[in-house]
Amino acid sequence: MGEAIGQSLPTAVGVALSPIPIIAVILMLTTPRARTNGPAFVLGWLLGLGVVGALVLTLAGPSASTGDDGAATWVGWLKLVLGVLVLAIAARQFRGRPRSGEEASMPGWMNAIDQFGAGKSLGMAVLLSAANPKNLLLAVAGAAAIAQTGIPGGQQAAAYAVFTAIASLGVAAPVVLYLAMGKRSEDLLARLKDWMSAHNAVIMSVLCLVIGAKLVGDALTVLW
Mean pLDDT calculated for residue range 2-8: 88
The one-letter code for the residue type at 161 is: A
- What pLDDT digit, counting tens, does each position of 114-140 carry? 889 999 999 999 999 998 888 999 999
Task: Give percent above pLDDT 90 in the chain.
Answer: 42
What is the distance between the alpha carbons of residues 220 and 23, in angstroms, rounded to a whole number?
36
Contact 41, 25 (CB under 8 A): yes
Q: What is the pLDDT of residue 124?
A: 93
What is the distance between the alpha carbons of residues 171 and 104, in angstroms, rounded to a whole number?
20
Q: What is the pLDDT of residue 74?
A: 77
In this predicted structure, the answer to whether residue 96 has a pLDDT above a threshold of 60 is yes
Q: What is the DSSP string of the chain?
A: -HHHHHHHHHHHHHHHT-HHHHHHHHHHTTSTTHHHHHHHHHHHHHHHHHHHHHHHHHHH-TT-BTTSHHHHHHHHHHHHHHHHHHHHHHHHHHHTSPPTTPPPP--GGGGGGGG--HHHHHHHHHHHHHTSHHHHHHHHHHHHHHHHB---HHHHHHHHHHHHHHHTHHHHHHHHHHHHHGGGGHHHHHHHHHHHHHHHHHHHHHHHHHHHHHHHHHHHHHH-
Give ∠ CA 22-23-28 in degrees, rounded to 5. 100
- What pLDDT digit, counting tens, does each position of 158-179 carry? 999 999 999 999 999 999 999 9
Q: What is the pLDDT of residue 125?
A: 94
Q: What is the pLDDT of residue 100?
A: 67
Q: What is the pLDDT of residue 185?
A: 87
- What pTM was estimated for this model as a whole? 0.86
